[in-house]
Amino acid sequence: MRTILDRAKERHDIDPERLITNTAYGSGPMLGWLVDRGIKPYTPVLDKTGRTDGTWSRTDFEWDPENNQYICPEGEPLKQFRRNYSDPYRGPSGKSVAKYQALKHACQACSSKMKCCPKADARKITREEHENARQLARDIAKAKQYAVSMRLHKKVEMLFAHFKRILGLGRLRLRAPCGANDEFLLASTAQNLRILAKIFPAPQQTSKA
């Protein structure tokens, strides 16, 4: 992806405003890289934070960026630091992951504890380095234009599926980049002819009486 974008810029001076991709490109580092480059990610977010035991997942907690904290469904803050460090980089942060925790006594007295953290003394939540980019991708996914973009994406994907399944390009027969180029050029020509034939059907032969 990075090479393709660099090449598009270098050869055609194209800087895409948005990129429509599938979940395979929805990891935090990938989304962060796109957003840093000024490209809006139209990508389903790869999110493994969902819980399977029915307890509240991270998405049930509200992010409060001004105060660098999460707010739980019961209104309690989950903070990264409970003290002010003279050195802002000090503190219990992990590798590219920030940890937020509610106060133990608040969780112990909470009526929703069984839905939140039944096995822990207090609820903890982690926040990845690229969470802002992930949130942007989630917000984009709620917009009307996202559905239109995904339909366009599906159309392109179907052309590649046609290459693979119908035209048998799952495996190339010619070798080296030149061979691959020739084979794809021929296949694309065949595919475009097929589309044109659908748009402009051949005139029907009229039988002579």
Rounded to whole angstroms, how far apart are CA atoms 157 and 164? 11
130 binds ligand SF4 (CB under 6 A): no
Stretch that binds ligand SF4, among 1-9, 22-30, 36-44, 104-112 (CB under 6 A): 104-112
Phi then psi dihedrals of residue 168, to 5 deg: 70, 30
Q: CA angle at residue 76 from 79 to 102, to 5 degrees?
A: 45
134 binds ligand SF4 (CB under 6 A): no
Distance of CA 189 to the CA centre of its chain: 32
Give the nearer residue to ligand SF4 in terms of CB position, either 106 or 180: 106
> To the nearest whole angstrom, how small is the minimum distance from the Cβ of residue 37 to ligand SF4?
36
How many residues at the interface with ligand SF4, by CB under 6 A?
13
125 binds ligand SF4 (CB under 6 A): no
Which residue(s) pair with 204 in the sheet? none
Which residue(s) pair with 69 in the sheet? 64, 79
Rounded to whole angstroms, how far apart are CA atoms 182 and 200? 27
Rounded to whole angstroms, how far apart are CA atoms 73 and 79? 15
Rounded to whole angstroms, how far apart are CA atoms 52 and 10? 46
Give the nearer residue to ligand SF4 in terms of CB position, either 62 or 139: 62
Stretch that binds ligand SF4, among 112-120, 168-176, 188-196, 198-206 (CB under 6 A): 112-120
Stretch that binds ligand SF4, among 80-88, 89-97, 110-118, 144-152 (CB under 6 A): 110-118
> To the nearest whole angstrom, how small is the minimum distance from the Cβ of residue 79 to ligand SF4?
11
Q: 4-16 burial string, b = 16+ CB within 10 Å, else e?
A: ebeeeeeeeeeee
Give the nearer residue to ligand SF4 in terms of CB position, either 2 or 51: 51
Q: Contacts with ligand SF4 in 64-103 (CB under 6 A)?
A: 72-74, 76, 102
Rounded to whole angstroms, how far apart are CA atoms 1 and 111? 48
116 binds ligand SF4 (CB under 6 A): yes
The footprint of ligand SF4 (CB under 6 A) covers: 72-74, 76, 102, 106-107, 110, 112-113, 116-117, 123
